Amino acid sequence: MTTAGLWASVVASGIFHGLNPAMGWPLAVSAGLMGRSRRDLFAALGLLALGHFLAMAAMLLPFSLMMALVEWQRQIRIGAALLVIAAGVWLLVRRRHPRFIARIRPTQLALWSFAVATAHGAGLMLVPIYLGLCRAADLDRGHQAAGALIGGDLATAVAVSVVHTAAMILTGGAIALLVQGWLGLKFLSRSWFNLDTVWAVSLIVVGVASLPFAWLSAM
């Protein structure tokens, strides 16, 4: 996959997450309606974005600090792809949402967004894409190259989290504004659909699609 294609995948996954009401845009609509102001809606979106970004970064940053990524790139990428597939299969088999999410108060939107993104495996979806952007195989194997890789990968991890979160919150925010300002709450009950199965299948698809690129990465 080209670098442009990988970044396009980061944006596309963010748009997909933004479309999913499980990532919180209905809560932004609720905040806007209860506060009777667009300011409340945007404040809620900001908190949702913060939580989602932290969930993405928490998943990606450990990989950026792995010096073993230089020498074991193929194995790590294959393992990450298999982990994403396993998460998708688990979500397909176990449809119930984690109970701990329900215990987080609506006033703690950033924490709620972080917990939901983590529980749904949203960050896992980005791991194979992120590892493809690292290009560890293009660097020398010495300690200096490893140090440069860590610094570069850390910046890439943050950039991936930012770009993905921006795409997610812009998509979800646009839907929230449409629902609050024009479509109304009846749109949710009449027109929306459950994305849980699509979400789980998408994790499996991302993992399966990443396997051949992981295998060829060090060849």
List, for residues 165-199, the tens digit of each pLDDT value: 999 999 999 999 988 877 776 666 665 555 667 77
Is the pLDDT at 145 greater than 60? The verdict is no
At 8, list the tokens: 């396009």
Q: Which two tokens stand for residue 43?
A: 């404040």
38 Cβ contact partners less than 8 Å away, ≥ 6 residues apart: 32, 177, 180
Q: How far apart are the first and last CA of the chain?
A: 14
Closest residue by Cα to residue 159 from 10, 15, 9, 1 = 10
C-alpha dihedral sign at 92, 210, 159, 152: positive
In whole angstroms, what is the distance from residue 51 CA to residue 68 CA? 29
Tell me which residue range forms the domain holding 158.
3-216
Identify which has the larger pLDDT, 77 or 111.
111
Give the pLDDT mean for 80-100. 77
Does the pLDDT at position 208 exceed 80? yes
Q: How far is CA 166 from the centre of its chain?
A: 11
Residue whose tokens read 């949402």: 97
Cβ 63 vs Cβ 157: under 8 Å: yes
> Would you say residue 133 has pLDDT above 80?
no
Name the average pLDDT for the chain.
Answer: 77
Three-state SS at 40? helix
Question: Tell me, what's the pLDDT at 195?
Answer: 65
Number of domains present in the structure of the chain: 1
Rounded Cα–Cα distance for residues 56 and 49 (Å):
11
Residue 154 three-state SS: helix
From residue 64, alpha-carbon distances to 115, 120, 131, 136, 147 in Å are 22, 22, 9, 11, 11
pLDDT tens readout for residues 5-62 = 888 889 988 998 898 888 888 888 888 888 777 888 999 999 999 999 999 999 888 8
Question: Residue 85 pLDDT > 80, yes or no?
Answer: yes
pTM of the model: 0.75
With a cut of 50, say whether residue 65 has pLDDT above it.
yes
